[in-house]
Chains A and B, each alone.
Chain A
Amino acid sequence: MAVGNVGVVAAARPPLRVRIRELLDRERVLGPLFITPALILIVLLVAYPFCVALYFSVSNAFIGRPSHFVGLKNFINLWESDAFRQTFQNAFVFTGTAVACKLVLGISLALLLNQQLWFKRLIRGAVLLPWVIPTALSTLGWWWMFNSLYSVVNWTGIALGLMEPPGPNWLGQKYYAMTAVVVVNVWRGLPFFAITILAGLVSIPRELYEAAEADGAGPVTRFWYITLPLLKPVLAVVVLFSTIFTFSDFNIVYVLTHGGPINSTHLFATLSRQVGLESGRIGEGAAISLYLFPVLVLVVYAQLKFVRKQTY
């Protein structure tokens, strides 16, 4: 009897510390606990502001004035504006071209970096430089380079015999301006592609290549049938991130062309600033920015589905 009592008493009150330890060992407690900080951060500082921005877009919000709900009027009225229609087209052209270039060049560069190189660290560091320089300042550097008066780009082109003097008016002509901003975007984003794809390349087992070589497969065949398929998950992820970043790019266009010439390089972010911030119409500005959203969601959805399919 006494023993049983002691046993019951001893088991009923373990010390607090032990109780907490045991609690923390339970997945169902630890899990939510661990994601709570991230959750708070996102709910407070992303979800809530996003809802406010959403409200802006369906209201006639103007800086410093009371706003009223107007439904989808902003979204619909935007289509009337030539600048917006142009922006919509620009965004797809810009993103499509830039991401495609970065993909092709990124794979090539990664393949090269994967070789046994002399000065490996230095070369890799050098390649990463554009990604690492503060964007606000590197874009200014490019403006200086494309500057119509001192254009290094034209000077070099003429010196190498590739261009006729005085060289194209990079930022003042419709298609050249788009080319210029795409080039700067590719310059900045290429390191991200290259290094990430390199990481993917590094993990492909050498034995596969050796086996293929033994079977008589040439380098192109090896690339097409071994490298590319195994890289697909990495490529999907990199393209996804890059599409998001590129689609919502602001700085390059703002500094180089301000959206010109004649709105031919305006992107959603730059137009949103022009209409929203500089003219006070934050409702319309928010609506412009939100046009980004469905496209991005589509891209994310497509990518995730694709990636899930690959890994499972």
Chain B
Amino acid sequence: MSRRKLRSKILAHAALVPFLVFALFPFYHMTLTSLKTDRELYDRAAAPLLIRQGVTFEHYTKLLWDTSFLTWTKNSLLVTVLSTAISLVIGTIAAYALARLKFFAVGSFGTGIFVTYLVPTSLLFLPLAQIVNWLGLGDSKWALVVTYPTFLVPFCTWLLMGYFRTVPKEVEECAMVDGATRVQALLRIVLPIAVPGLVCAALFAFTLSWNEFIYALTFTSSSEEITASVGVTTELIRGDSYFWGSLMGGAVLGSVPIVVLYVFFLDYYVSGLTAGALK
């Protein structure tokens, strides 16, 4: 590698450092807080950036054994995976229709999907509660599985629409000339090519759904049904006392699964956005 190239590479890394510090610092602080003893946490004189009085796992054990954290995480996972899957399916076929097929009012429907994004969940949740109840899903995580797609489907559709448009029409037409139906062409030809787009949509849907709070709070009550973020904030904030150690532990444990997912699928995510974002 030439000297100039090496130098610019090092410069690039150096320039990245402030960004990395900015992104990771709070996470570092949260992890540290979750490992500090209560005594040190409340000690005004202690240095906040180091652990001097010994590492403790008591906040994690309290979180995992004294609360129903594992149940909540299970609920979160179930709701997230299911609503992601549902949104992907609905979004894929809608996107295909809007990108490829010509039929009545296709253009306005595309815009319509987009407009639903403008309606904030904080406005909708009260009337939505009535509908959820009417569907008989009162206090249950299935209510979330049904309502989460409302904000997941628009984005998935939009992204996949863009992605499908990049798949050359000829590929499908070839297949159809060979005797395949449209549906078969979609399943066997287009979708495999669109895998990066699908992965990207799936990751995005997974994140949004995992982090969602308002609907989760409204549509679930009992300890067996609530999701992780609702559970942690409910259980560990009592009156005017915050259990910071365990709260931060909950934040750390609550982000680990997604980080793992992202690290593995990041390349797909990027290439999926490439096509989708440009159209």
Contact = CB atoms under 8 A, between A and B. Distances in A.
The answer to whether any beta carbons of A and B sit under 8 Å apart in the complex is: yes
Interface of A: 21, 24-25, 27-28, 30-35, 37-39, 41-42, 44-50, 52-53, 56, 105, 108-109, 112-113, 115-118, 121-138, 140-142, 144-145, 149-150, 152, 155-156, 187, 190-191, 195-196, 198-200, 202-203, 233-234, 237-238, 241, 244, 248, 250-251, 269, 272-273, 282, 286, 289-290, 292-293, 296-297, 300, 304, 311
Interface of A is mostly: helix
Contact of A34 (B97, B128, B150, B271): B97
B238 interface: no
B274 A129 contact: no
B153 A129 contact: no
Contacts of A34: 93-94, 96-97, 101
A127 B69 CA distance: 27
Among B122, B230, B258, B269, which residue has the most Cβ atoms of chain A within 10 A? Answer: B122
A42 to B, nearest CB: 5
Interface in B2-22: 8-9, 12-13, 15-16, 19-20, 22
Given A123-B20, A200-B274, A134 B127 contact: no
Given A199-B273, A282-B126, A296-B118, A109 B103 contact: no
A132 B255 contact: yes
B140 interface: no
B30 A141 contact: yes
B181 A25 contact: yes
Contacts of A286: 123
Contact of A32 (B103, B150, B266): B103
Contacts of A122: 263
Contacts of B90: 37-38, 41
Contacts of B153: 38, 41-42
Given A125-B266, A137-B232, A200-B274, A38 B113 contact: yes
Interface residues of B, number: 95
A132 B104 contact: no
Contacts, number: 274
Given A30-B97, A244-B118, A42 B255 contact: no
B109 interface: yes
9 tightest A-B CB contacts, nearest first: A31-B103, A199-B273, A52-B127, A137-B251, A49-B127, A34-B97, A31-B101, A248-B120, A38-B94
A109 B111 CA distance: 31
A128 B262 contact: yes
Contact of B233 (A33, A125, A136): A136
